[in-house]
């Protein structure tokens, strides 16, 4: 059993509570949903385009390990790390050929400058100190190595009725601007994408409405409308490709 800090900082849930939250979540949801698969596909394409030779890859916040398994198609040396011991047990059971570690990235002393690529999907919004997370990730990456990182888009989250979400869960959403700003001390941003347009409040209610989309349909296909919304930064998921400075 991992020994984790039990006292929360600045009124945020402590790591122990976070771990319990994610253990319960991944016990309920063992397989990725369509949005996770779409995000994974986009990130895999970005990673493939880097054309890294025998890269050492870390999937940070890998949950049940489904995406770490996909990354193993790019290089043999792939590791998945997650706070949730329950998720890591499932990952080890389902993908025994891959190296998974249960641990808290804020308390792990991993070898510096050991990774060619770190991928971290939807983790940064759920940690107590985003700047420290980015500093720790940068430390793990070789000079000129890469980071592909995603997070939920604050602009969309604030205009979308997602239903109830427990308090125990740290949520510090980022806009594209604030996301880039957190990375900039350690990384050069090479590419920024927004994918999966969604939302049902404010301006997003209008842009998602049947009336608005029917107006565009004589001119544009459904895929083209979606593409335009993504280009306008209205995607639920923000993805950055960055290179270590
Ligand atoms: C929203 S989930 C994303 C899971 C997966 N990357 C995906 O996209 O399907 C966030 C994950 O980050 C992990 N996580 C949160 N804080 C962590 C920490 N301090 N160290 C390691 N993993 C952490 C959680 O356990 C959880 O599985």
Q: Does residue 21 register a pLDDT over 60?
A: yes
Q: Which two tokens stand for residue 34?
A: 């369509």
Give me the residue label for tokens 């347009």: 197
Radius of gyration of the chain from Cα atoms?
Answer: 18
Domain residue ranges of the chain, discontinuous segments joined by +: 15-197+236-244
Q: How many CB atoms lie within 10 A of CB 212?
A: 12
The ligand 1 atom at the shortest distance from the C-alpha of residue 120 is 6
Q: What is the mean pLDDT of the chain?
A: 91
* Dist. CA 147–CA 185, nearest whole Å: 13
Asked whether 68 lines ligand 1 (CB < 6 A), one says no
Asked whether 24 lines ligand 1 (CB < 6 A), one says no
* Dist. CA 97–CA 107, nearest whole Å: 26
| Distance, C-alpha 229 to centroid of its chain | 20
Q: Which two tokens stand for residue 106?
A: 């804020």
Angstrom distances, CA of residue 96 to CA of 44, 67, 91, 169: 21, 14, 8, 29
* Dist. CA 229–CA 158, nearest whole Å: 17
Please count the CA atoms within 13 angstroms of the CA of 71 that sit on its side-chain side.
31
Cα 83 to averaged position of ligand 1 atoms, centre (Å):
7
pLDDT (mean) for 56-76? 96
Asked whether 193 lines ligand 1 (CB < 6 A), one says no
Are 241 and 46 in contact by the 8 Å Cβ rule? The answer is yes
Q: Which two tokens stand for residue 222?
A: 């459904």
Asked whether 42 lines ligand 1 (CB < 6 A), one says no
Asked whether 127 lines ligand 1 (CB < 6 A), one says yes
SS3 at position 119: strand
pLDDT category at 10 given cuts 50, 70, 90 is low
pLDDT at residue 206, rounded to an integer: 82
Cα 169 to averaged position of ligand 1 atoms, centre (Å):
11
What percentage of the chain carries pLDDT values higher than 90?
72
pLDDT at residue 211, rounded to an integer: 87
Decide yes or no: CATH 3.40.50.150 for domain 15-197+236-244: yes
pLDDT category at 8 given cuts 50, 70, 90 is very low
Asked whether 126 lines ligand 1 (CB < 6 A), one says yes
Are 61 and 81 in contact by the 8 Å Cβ rule? The answer is yes
Which residues fall within 8 angstroms of residue 38, CB to CB, at 6 or more apart?
195, 196
Q: What is the pLDDT of residues 95-127, one digit of tens each?
A: 999 999 999 999 999 999 999 999 999 999 999
Q: Does residue 1 register a pLDDT over 50?
A: no
Are 176 and 223 in contact by the 8 Å Cβ rule? The answer is no
Report which listed range, 23-32, 117-126, 207-216, is most confident: 117-126
Q: Model pTM?
A: 0.92
Q: What is the pLDDT of residues 133-166, one digit of tens each?
A: 999 999 999 999 999 999 999 999 988 887 777 6
């Amino acid at each position: 059993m991992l020994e984790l800090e039990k006292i929360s900082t600045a009124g945020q849930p402590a790591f122990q509570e976070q771990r319990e939250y994610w253990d319960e979540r991944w016990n309920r949801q063992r397989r990725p949903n369509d949005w996770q698969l779409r995000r994974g596909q986009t990130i895999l394409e970005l990673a493939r385009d880097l054309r890294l030779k025998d890269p050492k890859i870390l999937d940070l916040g890998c949950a049940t390990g489904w995406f770490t398994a996909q990354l193993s198609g790019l290089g043999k040396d792939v590791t998945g790390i997650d706070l949730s011991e329950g998720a890591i047990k499932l990952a080890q059971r389902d993908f025994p050929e891959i190296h998974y570690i249960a641990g808290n990235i804020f308390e792990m002393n991993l070898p510096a400058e050991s990774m060619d690529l770190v991928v971290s999907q939807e983790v940064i919004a759920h940690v107590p100190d985003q700047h420290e997370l980015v500093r720790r990730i940068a430390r793990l990456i070789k000079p000129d190595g890469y980071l592909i990182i995603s997070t939920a888009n604050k602009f969309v989250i604030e205009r979308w009725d997602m239903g109830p979400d427990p308090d125990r869960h740290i949520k510090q959403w980022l806009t594209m601007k604030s996301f880039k700003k957190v990375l900039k001390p350690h990384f050069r941003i090479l590419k920024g994408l927004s994918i999966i347009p969604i939302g049902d409040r404010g301006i997003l209610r209008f842009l998602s409405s049947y009336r608005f989309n029917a107006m565009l349909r004589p001119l544009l296909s459904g895929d083209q409308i979606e593409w335009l919304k993504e280009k306008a930064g209205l995607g639920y998921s923000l993805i950055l490709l960055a290179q270590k400075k």
